Amino acid sequence: MKFRVSGRYQARDGHQSFVKTVEAPNANVALEYVYSRLGSEHGLRRTQIDLNEPESEEAVA
């Protein structure tokens, strides 16, 4: 199942908004995946990332 996760993270010059689409078995795993990817790509801690509730791609389409 695909989920669309949006939010923002703390960047050097303010906050940066983003939208990621991930494939995961449920919404909690999708959130964990986004935390993991943003943390490794941008060197962020979880406290520097604000995530919104994930939306199912099937519900959006």
Interval 12-27: pLDDT, tens = 999 999 999 999 999 9
Cβ neighbors of 26 (< 8 A, separation 6 or more) are 1
CATH number of the domain to which 48 belongs: 3.10.20.10
Which residues are paired to 20 by β-bridges?
Answer: 5
How many CA within 13 A on the CB side of residue 37?
14
| Residue 4 near residue 54 (C-beta atoms within 8 A) | yes
Is pLDDT of 11 > 60? yes
- Expressed as residue numbers, the domain containing 20 is 2-60
pTM (predicted TM-score): 0.86
